[in-house]
Amino acid sequence: MKVSYERVRTYLKDHNVNPSFNRVKIMEYLIDQKNHPTAEQIYKELKKDLPTLSKATIYNSINAFAGAGLVKTIMGEGKEAHYDAVVDPHGHFLCEICQGCYDFDLSNDKFEFAEIEGFIIKDKEVYLRGICKKCLEDN
Amino acid sequence: MKVSYERVRTYLKDHNVNPSFNRVKIMEYLIDQKNHPTAEQIYKELKKDLPTLSKATIYNSINAFAGAGLVKTIMGEGKEAHYDAVVDPHGHFLCEICQGCYDFDLSNDKFEFAEIEGFIIKDKEVYLRGICKKCLEDN
DNA sequence: TTCTCTGCAAACGCTTTGCACGGAT
DNA sequence: ATCCGTGCAAAGCGTTTGCAGAGAA
């Protein structure tokens, strides 16, 4: 389920993020990946195609995306941040063994409890922690 | 709503955490506080009573607590971790302005959606982000 | 030109670790 | 004597930042 370069380019431009080549590639990767990569993972993977790519550019780009609301940061088990291209509301399951990050559906009607009087709520996140199917089967 | 030193001591011992003086004081603080302190906050506050206290001891102690399941780590807006003595299930509201952390109730019946086939779920967390009442009133 | 992205390297800041001291059993 | 918590300082590590060079408009 690949997204075309041109489409990502437009997507960024529409959200007021200057669509440089690197940024498009990074966002493209974020959208295509299901596994919520860390900066390191993005770096390693994209470096195959973009040998001069630097970590600083990864972080700068992601911060630009996050500022535009296009990317969310997920803090998992380790100390590295995982990044998630924003799409529909969904929760995250974090495996304590493989440190993987899985999406799961959030049926929105069960999520409407989240209101606090006098507070402005801009974002809602649900995390589950435990052991994923794959790690259970492997043991 | 202070917890007695002796009670915290017993609490730690019952969970196989050696209840040293510092550890009891740190856990005492975590239980008494409503504001989910950072390591820095714990350090500053407890240093008034325990002038020789070091940051390393704070971290070591908290890690001991976390290993025993007595403390949860909350990643807020900043890069510092907030620590929360585990009690009843509740969610956390994170203010993007004052970076404060507020509890809110999680009526459990609305939280039961969280099941994934083939996965073991050990923990559930809900985060809300936005602007807290106090910051709204101050502006 | 002017603006901004890029990439290297250095800086930052939170957390962890090595090690020697000291108290408790 | 042994074990373990403590505290200082140093190391680690993910992330951010300063700055010069390159590219686009």
Res A112 pLDDT > 60: no
In B, minimum Cα distance to A94 occurs at B121
Cα gap B101→A105, rounded to integer Å: 26
In the structure encoding, which two tokens stand for residue B24, read together?
């009891």
Query: Which residues in chain B are contacts of A110 at CB distance < 8 A?
Result: 110, 113
Say how many residues make up chain A.
139
Q: Cα distance from A109 to chain B (closest Cα, Å)?
A: 9
Identify the CA nearest to B96 among candidates B75, B74, B77, B83: B77
| Distance C15 C1' – B75 CA (angstroms) | 14
List where CATH 3.30.1490 sits in chain B: 88-138
Query: Which residues in chain B are contacts of A127 at CB distance < 8 A?
Result: 124-127
List where CATH 1.10.10.10 sits in chain A: 5-74
In the structure encoding, which two tokens stand for residue B48, read together?
């008034």
Identify the CA nearest to B22 among candidates B54, B63, B68, B67: B54
CATH number of B5-74: 1.10.10.10
Query: Among the ranges A40-44, B121-125, B131-135, which has the highest mean pLDDT value?
Result: A40-44
In the structure encoding, which two tokens stand for residue B73, read together?
């780590």
Query: Among the ranges A35-44, A69-78, B105-114, which has the highest mean pLDDT value?
Result: A35-44
Res A103 pLDDT > 60: yes
CATH number of B88-138: 3.30.1490
Rounded mean pLDDT of A65-89? Answer: 87
Q: Cα distance from A106 to chain B (closest Cα, Å)?
A: 8
Element (H, E) at A123: strand A120-131
